[in-house]
Amino acid sequence: MAELPRADGGAGDGPDHRTPIVEFRRVEKIYGEGESEVRALDGVDMRIERGEFVSIMGSSGSGKSTAMNMIGCLDVPTSGAYLFRGVNVCDLDQDQRALLRRHFIGFVFQGFNLLARTTALENVELPLIYRRVPAEERKRRALKALDLVGLSSRAGHTSAKLSGGQQQRVAIARALVTEPSLLLADEPTGNLDSARKVEIMELMVQLNREHGITVVMVTHEPDMAEYGTRTIVFRDGKIISGNR
């Protein structure tokens, strides 16, 4: 079993709270070789502090999805360094990155990605299973998370019986049930109508303000991006605005 990576090599109890939660240092990501080489990220420097709500915008192919995957420790840079909570992700193997995700990152996807024919409660419990939380506590915490997104009355419903907005709220509950330090949302409102969009965005703002969860959200809708405290815009693998 891989061990959870620590910022200081294991001596302390976690990184200094002043370190940014996300720090890119001249990050490059190159796909393919030679003629077909694509520079998805071209020497990006970026810092996201704890407690921020950052919206990432950019047209398709701008590198925003690559950046998102990298922030979520799903991908590693070709060159440069990515420090997540002060830990250089480039030095980690697949399992160690999985453990970082398990303990610090919650994911919300455009397509919700709930398990089919599985109740809302079981979906929310899933990340806790991987964290070896005992069954009773798992259920208690999952119900609490569902309560937070206003769906405790639908705990026993399978995803097929929930509306799109409700499904996304279950997905958000699943992401925050582990009390992550970073919530990563990839076009969370992309599949929803405008009323639901507002609901979801207000929920995300609430999580950010009241629970201190850092939120990084990719969106292509400017009015959604405005819910954030800052908007970073990508173009051709570079940040063109919003960087500090």
Q: How far apart are CB 88 and other proteins at their closest, in Å?
A: 19
Question: Does residue 185 contact residue 204 with C-beta atoms inside 8 Å?
Answer: yes
- Please give the Cα distance from 228 to 223 (Å, whole number): 10
Instruction: Pick the closer one to other proteins by CB: 126 or 198.
Output: 126
- Please give the Cα distance from 218 to 54 (Å, whole number): 9
The answer to the question of residue 74 lying near other proteins (CB under 8 A) is: yes
The answer to the question of residue 107 lying near other proteins (CB under 8 A) is: yes
For the segment 37-56, give every residue that binds other proteins (CB under 8 A).
Answer: none
Instruction: Pick the closer one to other proteins by CB: 89 or 99.
Output: 99
Instruction: Pick the closer one to other proteins by CB: 94 or 194.
Output: 94
Question: Does residue 15 contact residue 109 with C-beta atoms inside 8 Å?
Answer: no
CA 208-210-214 angle, 5° bins = 25
Residue 211 to residues 144, 179, 185, 201: CA-CA distances in angstroms?
A: 14, 9, 16, 15
Instruction: Pick the closer one to other proteins by CB: 102 or 235.
Output: 102
Widest Cα–Cα separation across the chain: 56
Instruction: Pick the closer one to other proteins by CB: 96 or 229.
Output: 96
| Total of residues contacting other proteins (CB under 8 A) | 33
CA 226-228-234 angle, 5° bins = 80
Helices (H), the chain: 64-71, 94-104, 120-130, 135-148, 164-176, 194-211, 222-225
Instruction: Pick the closer one to other proteins by CB: 69 or 191.
Output: 69
Binding mask 111-150 for other proteins (x = CB under 8 A): x-x-xxxx---x---xx-xxxx--x---------------
The answer to the question of residue 94 lying near other proteins (CB under 8 A) is: yes
Backbone angles phi, psi at 143, to 5 degrees: -65, -40
Q: How far apart are CB 44 and other proteins at their closest, in Å?
A: 18
The answer to the question of residue 81 lying near other proteins (CB under 8 A) is: no
The answer to the question of residue 102 lying near other proteins (CB under 8 A) is: yes
Name the site residues for other proteins (rule: CB under 8 A): 1-2, 69, 72, 74-75, 94-95, 98-99, 101-103, 105-107, 109, 111, 113, 115-118, 122, 126-127, 129-132, 135, 174-175
